[in-house]
Amino acid sequence: MSAHQWQAAVGTWPRRSSLGVRGLGRSPAFLIGAAVLLFWVVDAVAWPLLVPYDPQAVAPAETLQAPSAEHWFGTDDLGRDVFSRVLAGATSVLTVAPAAALLAVAVGVAIGLAAGYLGGAIDEVLMRVTDALLAFPLVVGAVLVLAVTGVSRLHLVVVIALVLAPLTARTVRAAVRNEREREYVEAARLRGDSGAYIMVAEILPNVAAIVVAESTTRLAAAIFAASTLSFLGLGIEQPSPDWGLSVALGRVFLQTAPWIVLFPALALATLVVGATAVADGLRLRIER
Amino acid sequence: MTTTQDRPAALDVAGLSVSYARRGRVRALVDVSLRIERGETYGLVGESGSGKTTLALTLMRHLPRAARIDGGRILLGGDDLLGAPERTVRRWRGRRIALVPQGAGSALNPSLRVGTQIAEVYRAHGDLLPAEAAEAAARTLNEVRVGDPAQVLRRYPHELSAGQQQRVLIAMALAANPEVLILDEPTTALDATVEAEVLDLIEALQDEIDAAILLISHDVRIVARLCDRAGMLYAGRLLEEGPTEDVFRAPRHPYTVALLRCVPRLDASGTPERLEPIPGRSPDLAAELRGCSFAERCPLVRPRCHEEAPAASSVADDWTSRCHFHADVPTLETAGVSLNGKPPAHDGAPLLRVEGLSKTYHGGEARVEAVADVSFELRQGEVLGLVGESGSGKTSVARCIAGLAEPSRGSLELDGRELPWALRERPREARTAVQMVFQNPDAALNRAVTVGGILRRSLRRLAGDRERGHAALYDLSSLVHLSPSDLELRPRALSGGMKQRVAIARSFAGSPRVVVCDEPVSDLDVSVQAAILNLVRDLREREGVSYLFISHDLAVVRYVADRIGVMYLGSLVELGPAATLFDPPHHPYTEALVSAVPTLPPDEQRPRITMYGPLPSPRQPPPGCRFHTRCPRFLGDVCRTVEPPWQQHVDGHRYRCHIAPRDLGGLQRADRLAGRPPLRSELTTV
Amino acid sequence: MTEPPTEGRRSSALTRLVLTRVGLALLTLLLVSMLVFATVQLLPGDLGRTVLGPYATDEQVAALNDRVGEDDPAPVRYANWLSDFVRGDWGTSAALRQPVRPLVLDRLANSLLLALYALALAVPVGVALGMLAARRRGRALDAAVSTTSVSLLAMPEFVVGTILSILFAVELGWFPVSARVPDDVASFFHQLTLPATVLALVLFGSLTRVARAATLSALDAEYTRTATLKGLPTRTVLARHVLPNVLPPTVAAIGAHVGYLVGGIVVVETLFAYPGLGKLLLDSALAHDLAPLQACVLATAVVVMVANLAADVVASALNPRLRRAAS
C-alpha cells in the first residue's frame, strides 16, 4: 500500500474541535453578568471620579433624608450621601474577595492534585483534614478564627481562603482521580516521566477548565463571605462605606429610614448575581 | 420463503431521509428503503457513522429534538408510522415494534429489580395484575433460555452477567409479542462464547416467533449467519440490498467487496490472506454530496460517479445496488494476496521470558487470583498472541509485563537478564525496550497536547539526547503514515484509527524491542482495524520488533500472530503456532472458542460446542483442572482432582489436559467430521 | 456467568458502611475539637483578668489562673477540657455568668426549630421545581428556575433578609422585624416565617440545582430511554425510573446543605435578633467568651457531621448497587 493510501485509511470523519469558550458570546445571562461585574470593578477603582459627594463627608444638617433629586439614595444618620457611599463601597469587597478566591484556588488545586494523583496515605490524611475544615460552616469557622486573630484585610483574605479551599480541593481531587485512570497517564509513566511532571504537565492542563470554573464560583462565594463577615462586625472597620458594614450599622434605622440599608443591599445583590452568572456560564460551557 | 400477498409487509420503509441540526445540517439517512415481511430476518450492516442507530430510533419514533425527518414513509403492518399522533405511537412502542438497544448494562435501570422491569411491559400493554405479570415475566425468561428464572427475576441488573443482561433485554422486547423486533448490535462487547450463545438464541427465536426481525450490526459474519436478507448502510445510504447468501458470495457493490476484504477470517486454511483496509475517509455528512457517497474511496470510480448519485438499480429479484457500474463489480479482486508467512528469525535465546507469573488481588475478605502461574517466552521478531475471554487474566499479564502492575510472584527476564517488575526499578534501556499500546485510543492520548507534542516528548524521554530534532519526529510519524500537518492537530480532531497510530508511533519512539498491545483494535471499525493490523505486521517486518498481542477476537489474533497462547480463568492452557492451534488436537476450551467464532460464509457443518454451566467465580477457581466444570470432554475424577500436565505436540505446540494429543486429536477430528458436538460423559454438579 | 452474593452479605455491607462512616466521623470530630481548642486558646487575653475584671490585683488574677489551670501546658488543658466536656461540664460563661451547657442546649433547640422550618420550606419546593425545570429543559420555566436559583445561591442571607424585612416587615407590616421564641402555633408562624424564608431561599437556590442536575442525568440515561421505548406511559417512566435515581444524590446534597444552613443561621439570628445558637456563637466570639464559644462551635460541628452522615447513609441505602458492595 502506498504512503498516500496509508495516510488516508482512517474511517470516520474526524470531529471538529468543539466551540469552547467562544460560544459564551451567545449566552445572555453570561453577558449581562459579565457586564455587571465589569461595572463594579471599574467602579471600585474609579469611584472618586464618579461620586457626587465625598462618601465620608458628614453633614449634620442633612441626616436621614429620603431619596430626592439632590441625594438619589438619600442620606444616612450622619448626613452622608448614600449614593456616594454605595459607589465607594465596592472597593473593600472587591479587594478582599478576589484575593481570597485566588488563594483558595491555589491552595485547593495544590491539595487536590497531590491527593488525587498520589493517593494512598497522603490522600487519606489530606482528605481527613479537608473534611475537618469542611465541618466548619463558612461563617462559623471565620467567626472563630477572626475573633482570635483580630481583623485586618490580610486576616480576612487568609481566613476566607482557608474556608473556601477545601471545597476546591475536593472538586480538583475528583477530577484528577478521573484523569489518573486514563491510559495517557500510564503511557507517561511508561515513558519514565516523574510523578511531579505528570501532575503538572499532563494532568493539570486537562483539569484546567474545571479550575477556571472553580475560580469564578469561589469568587462568588468569597464575595458572599467577605460581605457577610462585614455585616457580622468581623470585617472592615468604620467608617468604611463597605456594604456589609453599612447594612449592619443602618439596621437600627430599618423602620424609619430603610433606604440606608436597602441600597447597599441591592448593590451587593447585583454584584453577587453578576459574579454567579459569569461563574455559571463558564461552568456550563465547560461541561458541555 | 413465501410472502402472502394479502398480508402487508411487517415493515415497509420507503425513501426515508433524516437529518440532524448540528452546525448546519447533518444528513444521517438519505433515501433509505427497505421492506421486511413477517418471519423474515433482515440484517443491516453498517460501521460507525453509517446511520444505523438513527434508523433504529426513527423506526421507534424516538428521535432527539434536533433531528428532523426530511421525507419518506414508514408503514408498520400497513399503518402509517410517521403520520400517527404521539399518543398512538406510544401505544405501538413495545407492543407492535420493539427495540433491543445496544449496551445491555446501561440499558437496564440499576435501581429496579429485573423482574419489575420485565413485568412493566406486560402491565403497560396487557393490563395484567402484578402477580400475572410476574408469571408472564418468568415465562418469557424461559423463552430466552435463562436458567433459574425465579432467581433472576429477583436480582438487580448489576448482579447479572453480560449474557444474562442481554437475554433480559430480549425478553423485555419480546414480551408484548411485537410485529417487528429490532436488535441493535446485540452482541457487541460480549465474549465470543457468550456471543455465540446469544446468536443461538436468536436463531431459535427465529423459528418460534412470527415477528419481522431487523438485525443491525457492524459484523458481517453474524448477519451472514442469521439473516435472510442483508443491506449495506454507508453514510446514510443503502448501497446494496439483497438475499444474504448472494450479497456476500458475489457482491454487486464495491463497498460490499471492500468491507468483506477487511474481515479477518478464522478459516483453517494455512496462511491467511492479507486484509485490505478501505482507503480514504467516510464523507462529511454535513456537506452537500452530489455524486455517489462511496466515490472517494471506490476502486471502480469514474467521472460520472462524482456528478450523479446512483439510483437503486435492480440486479435481480429483490436485489438492488446503488452503483452506476454494478455490472463491473464481479471483476474486482475478492481474494486477497496470500501473506508470505516469513518465519521470524530465531536466534535461539528468547527475548523475553516470563516464569511463574501470578497475581492475586485482595479486596476486603475476597481473594481473587487473576493470574495463576503463567510461564512463556517471547522470541525475537515474533508476534505472540494472547487470547481469552473476560476474567482470563490476559490484561493483567500484559500490564505486569509492561511494568504497570506488580505481580505477587514470578520472574521476568529480558535478553537473559533479570528485569524488575516495577516500572520505577527498571533501568532506562529496559523502559525504552518494553512499551505498551492501549485499547481505548481516546483515553490513551493527552487531550491537551498536540500530536507533535506527544511524539516529541516520547522521543525526548525514550530516545534520549541522541535523537533530537525534527528529523527524528518526521521519521517517527512517517513510520505510521502520519503527515506533517497531522502533527499540529489535537487528539480531538483525529479519528479512532489515527489516534491509535499516534499511540503506536509513541511506543516506537525509542526503538523498542517488545511492544505489548492490549486489545488495540477492539474499539475500532472493521475497515480501520485492518489498517492497524497491517501496520502491526509491517512494523514487525521492518523494525524487527516483537509483540505481545492481547485480544479476545480469535480471527484478529490469527491474522497477526505467529504463536498464540490461550488463557482461561488466570491460567495459560495452551500455547502453539498460529497455523496449527485452531485445528485438533487442541485444548477443549480452544476447541469451544473456535466453534463460537462465526465464519464467513457460515459453516453449517461445524458443530457448535457449548460449555456446560456458568463461568466459575475467580474467587473460587475449581480444583484440579480449572476448566473441568465446563469441559465437554470431562473425564471424571482425575479432572476434578489432579492438575493437568502439559501435553506436548509438534512444533512447540503444548496444552494442559489429561487427554494425550493422539487421543484428543482423534476425538476432535471425528466430531468435526460428523458435525456433532461432544457430549459430556458425566454431568458434574458445580 | 458469575454467582451473585448471598442475602446475608447485603445487610452486613450496609452495616459496615455505617460503622465505617461513624468511625470516621468521630475521628474528624476529635480533630475538630483539637482545632477549636487550639484556635480559641490563641485568643489574646487572660481568663483570670476577664473574669475578675480590671480592678483585681495581679496576685488575685494569678491565683485564679492557677486554680483553673490556665497555666498548665496545652495538651493537659486540652485533655481536661475534653474530659469535662464529655462528662457534661461545659464550663461557665464569663460574660453571661451562666453555666454553658443549659444555655447552649436551650439556644440549640431554638435554632433547630428555625432550621427545620426552613428545611420544610426549601426541600419540597426546591426538589419539585428542580425536577420540573429538568423536564421542561431549555424552555421558559427552566430558564426562569435556573436563573433564579443561581442568583439565590450565593446571595448573602443578610441581603435577602434586609430586602425581605423592608418589604414584609416595614412596608407591609405582616411580620415583626425581630423574632422572638414562639410559644404556640400562631406565634410560630408569625415570628419565624420571615427568618425561615430567608434561610429557605438561599437553600432553595442550591437544592434546585442539584435536583435539576440529578433529574437531567436520569432523564438522559440509557435506561430511561429503554423504558420509554418499551412503551411505558410518561408518568410511569418518571415515577419508577427517573425518581428513584434522582433521590440518592439529592438526599446526599441536602446533608451537605446543612452546613450552609448553620452558617446562614448565624447571620439570620443576628439580623432578626433571635436567641439561637448562632447568635450566641457570634456574641461569644465578639466578647471573647471562651467557654460558650468552644461549646457552640463543637455543637455546630456535631450537627453538621450527623446530618452529613445521615444523608450519606440514606443515599447509600437507596442505591442498590452500594448496598451490595460486599461483592
Q: How far is CA C65 from CA A284, B256, C46, C78, in A?
A: 58, 95, 8, 16
* Residue-level pLDDT at B684: 39
Q: Are C103 and C93 in contact (CB under 8 A)?
A: yes
A residues 113..152 contacting C (CB < 8 A): 128-129, 131-132, 134-140, 143-150
Q: How far is CA B647 from CA B81, B574, B660, in A?
A: 62, 9, 6
Nearest CA in chain C to A27: C143
Measured between CB atoms, which of C31, C147, C261 is closest to A132? C31
Nearest CA in chain A to C255: A135
Q: Is the pLDDT of residue B367 over 50?
A: yes
CB pairs under 8 A between A and C: 144
Q: Is the pLDDT of residue B56 over 90?
A: yes
Answer yes or no: do A128 and C36 touch at CB < 8 A: no
The residue with greater pLDDT, C297 or B549, is: B549
Look up residue B48 and give its three cell numbers: 460507525
Nearest CA in chain A to C152: A273
Answer yes or no: do A191 and B462 touch at CB < 8 A: yes
Average of per-residue pLDDT values in chain B: 86
What does the alpha-carbon distance between residue C46 and residue C35 come to, in Å, rounded to a whole number? 20
Look up residue B195 and give its three cell numbers: 456471543
Q: Over the stretch B386-418, which tens digit does the pLDDT of each residue have?
A: 999 888 889 999 999 999 999 999 999 998 889
Answer yes or no: do C321 and B110 touch at CB < 8 A: yes
Q: Is the pLDDT of residue B568 over 90?
A: yes
Answer yes or no: do C44 and A150 touch at CB < 8 A: yes
Question: What mean pLDDT do residues B348-376 have?
Answer: 85
CB neighbourhood size of B372 (10 A): 21
Say how many CA atoms lie within 13 Å of B155 toward its Cβ.
Answer: 19
Q: What phi, psi does B32 have (nearest 5°)?
A: -95, 130
Nearest CA in chain B to C4: B159
Chain C positions in Cβ-Cβ contact with residue A139 (cut-off 8 Å): 262-264, 266-267
What does the alpha-carbon distance between residue C55 and residue C70 come to, in Å, rounded to a whole number? 20
Q: Does domain B350-568 have CATH number 3.40.50.300?
A: yes
Chain C positions in Cβ-Cβ contact with residue B95 (cut-off 8 Å): 231
Whether chain A has a CB inside 8 Å of the CB on B47: the answer is: yes
A residues 152..181 contacting C (CB < 8 A): none
Q: Are B525 and B494 in contact (CB under 8 A)?
A: no
Measured between CB atoms, which of A3, A5, A183 is closest to B443? A183
Lowest pLDDT segment from B315-319, C54-58, C266-270: C54-58
What does the alpha-carbon distance between residue C277 and residue C272 come to, in Å, rounded to a whole number? 13
CB neighbourhood size of B415 (10 A): 15
CA of C25 to nearest chain B CA: how many angstroms apart?
Answer: 21
The residue with greater pLDDT, B190 or B181, is: B181
Nearest CA in chain B to C237: B120
Q: Is the pLDDT of residue B179 over 90?
A: yes
Domain coordinates of chain A in residue numbers?
A: 29-287
Answer yes or no: do C166 and A258 touch at CB < 8 A: yes
Residue to mutate among B58, B109, B172, with most C CBs inside 10 A, is B109
Answer yes or no: do A147 and C165 touch at CB < 8 A: no
What are A's interface residues with B at a Cβ cutoff of 8 A? 1, 3, 5-18, 181-184, 186-193, 202, 205-206, 208
Cα-based torsion angle of the residue sequence B487, B490, B492, B494 in order, rounded to the nearest 10 degrees:
0
What does the alpha-carbon distance between residue B173 and residue B160 come to, in Å, rounded to a whole number? 18
CB neighbourhood size of A70 (10 A): 12
SS3 call for C137: coil
Total-model pTM: 0.81
* Residue-level pLDDT at C7: 43
Question: What mean pLDDT do residues B640-654 have?
Answer: 89
Chains that touch B (3 or more CB pairs under 8 A): A, C
Q: B11-96+178-255 with B350-568: one CATH topology? A: yes
Question: What mean pLDDT do residues C124-132 have?
Answer: 88
CA of A130 to nearest chain B CA: how many angstroms apart?
Answer: 26
* Residue-level pLDDT at B589: 92
* B6 pLDDT tier (thresholds 50, 70, 90): low
Q: Give, for all 288 residues of chain A, the pLDDT tens digit.
A: 333 333 333 323 333 333 345 555 667 778 888 999 999 999 999 988 888 888 888 888 878 888 888 888 888 888 888 898 899 889 988 999 999 999 999 999 999 998 988 888 888 888 888 877 776 777 777 777 777 777 778 888 888 898 889 888 988 888 888 888 888 999 999 988 888 888 888 888 888 888 888 888 889 889 988 888 888 888 777 678 889 888 888 888 888 888 888 899 999 999 988 888 888 888 777 765
Measured between CB atoms, which of B436, B447, B534 is closest to A206? B447
Whether chain B has a CB inside 8 Å of the CB on C245: the answer is: yes
Q: What phi, psi does B264 have (nearest 5°)?
A: -70, 140
**If we measure between CA atoms, which residue out of B548, B551, B626 comes closest to residue B587?**
B626
What does the alpha-carbon distance between residue C205 and residue C153 come to, in Å, rounded to a whole number? 4
Look up residue B36 and give its three cell numbers: 421486511
Q: Which fold has domain B11-96+178-255?
A: Rossmann fold (3.40.50)
Lowest pLDDT segment from A265-274, B153-162, B249-258, B330-339: B330-339
Answer yes or no: do C36 and A268 touch at CB < 8 A: no
A residues 191..250 contacting C (CB < 8 A): 220-221, 223-224, 227-228, 231-234, 244, 247-248
Answer yes or no: do A8 and B280 touch at CB < 8 A: yes
Q: Does domain A29-287 have CATH number 1.10.3720.10?
A: yes
**If we measure between CA atoms, which residue out of A73, A78, A41, A74 comes closest to residue A56?**
A78
For chain B, the distance separating the N- and C-terminal CA atoms, rounded to the nearest angstrom, is: 44
Q: Does domain C7-42+73-326 have CATH number 2.40.160.40?
A: no
Question: What mean pLDDT do residues C64-68 have?
Answer: 65
The residue with greater pLDDT, C57 or C47, is: C57
Look up residue A33 and give its three cell numbers: 453578568
* DSSP assignments along B224-262, one per residue: HHH-SEEEEEETTEEEEEEEHHHHHHS--SHHHHHHHTT
Chain B positions in Cβ-Cβ contact with residue A187 (cut-off 8 Å): 436, 438, 444, 503, 506
Residue to mutate among C6, C229, C251, with most B CBs inside 10 A, is C229
- What is the number of residues in chain A? 288
Answer yes or no: do A231 and C285 touch at CB < 8 A: no
CB neighbourhood size of B199 (10 A): 21
Chain B positions in Cβ-Cβ contact with residue A11 (cut-off 8 Å): 47-48, 281-282, 495-497, 524-525, 527-528
Q: How far is CA A94 from CA A39, A157, A237, A275, B310, in A?
A: 12, 11, 16, 11, 67
* Model ipTM value: 0.77
* Residue-level pLDDT at C46: 58
Question: Which of left, alpha, beta for A21 (phi over 0: left; psi -120 to 50: alpha)?
Answer: alpha
Dihedral sign for Cα atoms in the order B150, B153, B158, B160: positive
Chains that touch C (3 or more CB pairs under 8 A): A, B
What does the alpha-carbon distance between residue B241 and residue B230 come to, in Å, rounded to a whole number? 6
Domain coordinates of chain C in residue numbers?
A: 7-42+73-326
Chain C positions in Cβ-Cβ contact with residue B53 (cut-off 8 Å): none
* Residue-level pLDDT at A287: 63
Answer yes or no: do C262 and A224 touch at CB < 8 A: no
